[in-house]
Chains A and B, each alone.
Chain A
Amino acid sequence: MSLPAIAITKLVKRFGDSTVLQDIDLEIPEGKVSCLIGPSGSGKSTLLRCLAFLEEPTSGMITINGEALGFFEAPNGKRERLPPAQIRAVRAKTGMVFQQFNLWPHMTALGNVSEALKTVHKLPKGEAEARALAQLRKVGLENRANHYPSQLSGGQQQRVAIARALALEPKIMLFDEPTSALDPELTGEVLNVMRDLAAEGMTMVVVTHEIGFAATVAHQISFLDHGRLLFSGPPSEIFAKPRHPRLDQFLDTYLDRGASMLA
């Protein structure tokens, strides 16, 4: 059994007095697609943000390919922060795609995708841009390279954002509701790019309300409710009846095009 791409153990996240994630234990196998579903406010984004180290866990451990993210347990049982260089190295294994795309408005598509190659990886401009262009080609946007984000549709912006993350050659891609900010007719082009990525064997963690996508692409689906992981398993198991009442209730509320086929 190979090392899981991500291992989460006893993860707790509090904001002040409110506990947003409670004792999360989850393993995400390498090369698989793992979807996080759950009602609004259940802690999905927070969990994903912990994986990207945009939030620091209050306690518990996250390892990426077996390497501790952010903190490690010292022999005396105390949790200690890793040195910044090491945190950066582990974070570089993941790429993140946001609900709101978060493209930098003052840079073209090409600029967005090549920025970190130039400033972080110190590639010469020409090489960085060649690699960026190759990524844009992959998401079908080679001919939009010189467009600014404001000149692109939402679906195109999100594909640029995916290219930006892929350009850094991450081992794992994290997606936080990548299609929620899109008009329904634009979700398809983004989901297709994600399907291709999954078919290539990219490890993916996807927070989504697209139950149809989850049911057809995911190898593992995890259901979060009030900060707890109620259960996790392959789609066939998750959606099999009888279902957990909370999940049934959730599916009723979020019933979309795809979920209807599970009804």
Chain B
Amino acid sequence: MTIKLFTLLLQAAISTLGISLISIAIGFVIAIILSAATLSHKSIYVVPARLFISFFRGVPLLVQLLLIYTLLPVIGINVPSIVAAIVGMSLCTAAYQAENLRGGFESVPRGLIEAAEVTGLSPRQTFFRIRVPIALRLTFPALINEAIMILKSSSLVSVVGIIEITKMAQDLASSTYLPIPIFASAALIYLVINSIVALIGRFAERSLGGAST
């Protein structure tokens, strides 16, 4: 196991990190829309959002990625594999994050919203000043969990031809015949990344203050 091999793994880690973080961010934006739709009580919004969420939570990410990768060219959209990977991961994490957010919005105590109402806040002000910040605090730990899940699941994007940590490790292992140090290094890199994410989460949670009422 040389410095050179480890550097190659670290370079692949950039793909893992990049794809994961971009997907989590895009997924978060979609999740806000989805959760708003599921909470709207209007079936034209609720039904599509629920179908979307059920599909992306019910089908394995691997199958989703293969579907997107093979389906898009058939309907005439030729995308680089990196885009297919980000689309697949974003949609999948959006479904999970939407469920978290919905739970968060639903657990904002009604009394806090009534307090906003009696002090004259408009529904819009109540949403942005009271509901969103409290729901985000309530869902923050779940969001960090989801980020870690996505970082680990990102190994699946190798099926659409992306070289990330796991794929790089496999390639290096078969060309160098040093599988154990290489896979151990890959494991170590995942562990370090996810520990940092967890630490950031813990720190942010503390500085956001308790959401308990």
Contact = CB atoms under 8 A, between A and B. Distances in A.
Contacts of B115: 96, 98, 102-104, 161, 164
Interface stretch (A1-9, A16-24, A112-120, A218-226): A112-120
B210 A148 contact: yes
Which has the most chain B C-beta neighbours within 10 Å: A52, A94, A115? A115
Contacts of B208: 106
Contact of A115 (B129, B210, B212): B129
Given A100-B111, A106-B208, A115-B129, A54 B137 contact: no
B7 interface: no
A249 to B, nearest CB: 31
A215 interface: no
B112 interface: yes
A162 to B, nearest CB: 12
A116 B126 CA distance: 10
A3 B137 CA distance: 47
Interface stretch (B63-71, B117-125, B147-155, B160-168): B117-125
12 contacts: A52-B118, A91-B118, A98-B111, A103-B213, A106-B134, A106-B137, A119-B125, A120-B119, A120-B121, A164-B115, A164-B119, A165-B119
Interface of B is mostly: helix
Nearest to A168: B119
A120 B116 CA distance: 10
Given A100-B111, A120-B121, A150 B129 contact: no
B114 A150 contact: no
A98 B111 CA distance: 8
Chain B interface size range: 20 to 34
A53 to B, nearest CB: 8
A149 interface: yes
Interface string A107-130: 000000001100110000000000
A95 B122 CA distance: 16
A54 B209 contact: no
B187 interface: no
A88 interface: yes
Interface of A: 52, 54, 88, 91-92, 94-96, 98, 100, 102-106, 115-116, 119-120, 148-150, 161, 164-165, 168
A92 B137 contact: no
Contact of B114 (A88, A91, A98, A168): A98
A169 to B, nearest CB: 12
A262 B114 CA distance: 36
Contact of A105 (B118, B119, B122, B134): B134
A104 B120 contact: no
Nearest to A49: B114
B130 interface: yes
A106 B209 contact: yes
B133 interface: yes
Nearest to B126: A119
A102 B120 contact: no
B111 A119 contact: no
Contact of A102 (B112, B122, B133, B137): B112
B212 A91 contact: no
Given A98-B111, A100-B111, A119-B129, A105 B210 contact: yes
Nearest to A161: B115
B129 to A, nearest CB: 6
Contacts of A92: 120
